[in-house]
Amino acid sequence: MASETRLYVGGLPEAVTIAELTQRFTPFGAVTNAQLIAARGTALPRPPLAFVTLVATPPKLQRCLKTVRTRIASFRQRR
């Protein structure tokens, strides 16, 4: 049975977008929310911090947690 989990995602590059976060996490389940955290007093994202809410089965969530570091590394390599 799928459940909703909010994931903290750190180590992202400054130019990452919500669309990119959604694309990277979609293979593991349904992304219901992706949020870049803004620095206090500005509208600018405070990289490298984001939250992704994912609806996934326990096996897919475990796979996500095991591969998330690889995914973040590939974000960095692209830039």
User: What pLDDT score does 78 carry?
Assistant: 44
Which domains, and CATH codes, for the chain?
A: 3-78 (3.30.70.330)
User: What pLDDT score does 79 carry?
Assistant: 41
User: What pLDDT score does 30 carry?
Assistant: 96
User: What pLDDT score does 25 carry?
Assistant: 93
Phi, psi of 57 (to 5 degrees): -75, 160
pTM of the predicted structure, to 2 decimals? 0.76
Stretches where the chain sits below pLDDT 70 are 38-48, 69-79
Angle at CA of residue 47, ends 43 and 52, nearest 5°:
90
